[in-house]
Chain A
Amino acid sequence: MAEFIKFDRITKFYGPLCVVENLDLSIAKGEFVSLLGPSGSGKTTLLMMLAGFEQATSGKILLDGAAINDVPTHKRDMGVVFQSYALFPHMTVGENIAFPLQMRGIDKAETAARVKQALDMVQLSTLADRRPSQLSGGQQQRVALARALVFEPRVVLMDEPLGALDKQLREQMQLDIRELHRRLGLTIVFVTHDQSEALTMSDRVAVFNKGKIEQIGTPRQVYDEPATRFVAEFIGETNLVEGVVEAIEGREATVRLPNGAQIVSAVSDGVAAGQGVYLSIRPERIDLAEARGAARNVLETEVTDSVYQGDHLRVQLQNEAYPLIAKLGRRSREFAPGTKVFAAFSAGDCRVIAP
């Protein structure tokens, strides 16, 4: 993979507080990478260093092979979209979008043409003469997007740009941005703490925790093959059960649970037989039946509660050693509390995680 942006052992201190720690991250040209993590994990800080608003305490940031640590922001040629949009309140929508073009000395005629094109792109052609204060949140967001894209920057940085929008508009904008990314071949670094947003939009997701990247991979990888307990719990919902590895054969491990049950589970490198581990089982991968079926892994449990949630049925289970949650498709039958059931799942639907 060609490295277009590269963070090389980046560390950032605010006073005594280490906010980003020895971080490596490479991003390819045309890639859409999300930085996902809880509040305070250093996502914004990393983005601000890339934009040049903050200086790294140590380490190098490379753009297209050249170190940019000492390049001032206005020469970095990166379009930034802030959560608060940060539109110029004293300029009209058209003037806002023309601003980066004026900064580049582009002549009036071409500026006008490109502003128009950018406005068309975000479907705001009729609002060119309004001021930001006369726009709705979603419209402002589109203006910010148009302004960050109109000068064809080398990289587009977005810091939770959709955070202030309601759910419906947010989902629409997610698709719009993704579509723009595909159409224009943009390189986008996108900060969010909304995991479904990250999974929907990105080519790759970098999961942040306390200033470090816990895992980076495609949405499928971080969801299906979480590398750490933190990733498993942060992305989606999961059942975590403690156990001990009894044997490893290729990509599969046999794990003994506290109540003696044996589970065969997918495993990645770095886990050895005899080790205490967590087993992560996604609730939607669990099937419930009253008879023991032919599945590879079957756990005997009892239903303690079941809640209808519209698109799925959420069933809480308990046996002598651990609770489990199962999410069943809406066509599933109801399970009354107290029913004894078998929870079944395949080896590929659960994952061994080193503690």
Chain B
Amino acid sequence: MPMKIAKLTFALLTILFLVAPLIAILPLAFTSSVILTYPIPSWSLRWFEELFFADAWRRAIINSLIIGTGTTLLATVLGTAASLGLRNRLFFFRGSMRTLFLLPMVVPAVVLGVGMQVLLARFGLINSYAGVIIAHTVVAIPFVVVSVTGALAGIDERVELAAQSLGAAPVTVFRRVTLPLAMPGVLSGAVLAFATSLDEVVLTLFVAGPNQRTLARQMFSSIRENISPAIAAAAFLFIAATILIGLVVVLSRSMLERRTRPAAS
């Protein structure tokens, strides 16, 4: 029993450690003051108004949605294709290839950013939506690969063989069996890709022009210019959106998983 209590306490402390910064900033989203400090003189929604009606902020939100959606689509398609390729038994350097795919996760963003800037400039994609989406996709793909690879690993290969023997051509096997079974993983990968794009600042600094300022980038610069509580309001928006997406995913995942749970035999 004491052990249980100790475990619970530690869990709660860890959670506190993780959310403490949020607890510190979130109330400031509702301040009426013009600076981002405590104490809060009185409650107000003026910073949310600012967020939705001030041009810079509104554009940033729209940009984040455009770039996030583009990144999600591209990264999910490419990441899923890569995971399928990595699954091939005949693929010789499977292990090292997988590591390569995960590289963007560990390479410092600054390094990637510089490389990306040089590369995109060369193709004339600097300061364009396409450029930012490509840059974000590079860092989002590893999340998709990890998530989809995990889902694919859980598929019993014999189920696919069975489909073949029942008359399904390889493409049909993929469409009717492999993809539906990997769907929970693809879905989580897509959400992680979206979150990555939403959150990404460093690469955006390098490759985005003033017209592609994302919400994260806008927060970053407004911190330097004027420490306005609009940042706290933006953070609040972020968190609310994340929780919403998270909920949707958890729900649809558990629904999918209930449907695709392998039969016990």
Enumerate chain A interface residues (CB-CB to B < 8 A): 51-53, 72-80, 82, 84-90, 99-100, 103-104, 131-133, 135, 137, 140, 147-148, 151, 157, 164
Contact = CB atoms under 8 A, between A and B. Distances in A.
Contacts of B259: 89-90, 131
Interface in B177-222: 177, 180-181
Interface string B155-170: 0101101111111111
A51 B166 CA distance: 10
A117 B260 CA distance: 26
B172 interface: yes
Contacts, number: 94
A89 B260 contact: yes
A80 B167 CA distance: 11
B87 interface: no
A86 B158 contact: yes
Interface in B236-265: 259-265
30 contacts: A52-B165, A53-B164, A72-B164, A72-B169, A74-B170, A76-B165, A77-B167, A78-B165, A79-B165, A80-B161, A80-B162, A80-B165, A84-B158, A85-B263, A86-B158, A86-B161, A87-B159, A87-B162, A88-B163, A89-B181, A89-B263, A99-B163, A103-B172, A133-B261, A135-B263, A140-B263, A147-B166, A148-B165, A151-B166, A164-B265
Contacts of A86: 156, 158-159, 161-162
Contacts of B263: 85, 87, 89, 131-133, 135, 140
B57 to A, nearest CB: 43
The B interface, classified by DSSP as helix, strand, loop or mixed, is: helix
A88 B177 contact: yes
A340 B181 CA distance: 68
B79 to A, nearest CB: 21
Contacts of A100: 166-167
A87 B167 CA distance: 15
A211 to B, nearest CB: 22
Contact of A104 (B161, B167, B261): B167
Q: Which of B169, B180, B264 has most chain A Cβ within 10 Å?
A: B264
Contact of B168 (A52, A74, A78, A147): A74
A84 B165 contact: no
A137 B265 contact: yes
Given A86-B159, A103-B172, A73 B165 contact: yes
B124 to A, nearest CB: 45
A164 B156 CA distance: 16
A298 to B, nearest CB: 52
A51 B167 contact: no
Nearest to A85: B265
A147 B263 CA distance: 16
A233 B163 CA distance: 39
A89 B159 contact: yes
A51 B169 CA distance: 14
Nearest to B164: A73
Nearest to B173: A74
B265 A74 contact: no
A121 B259 CA distance: 26
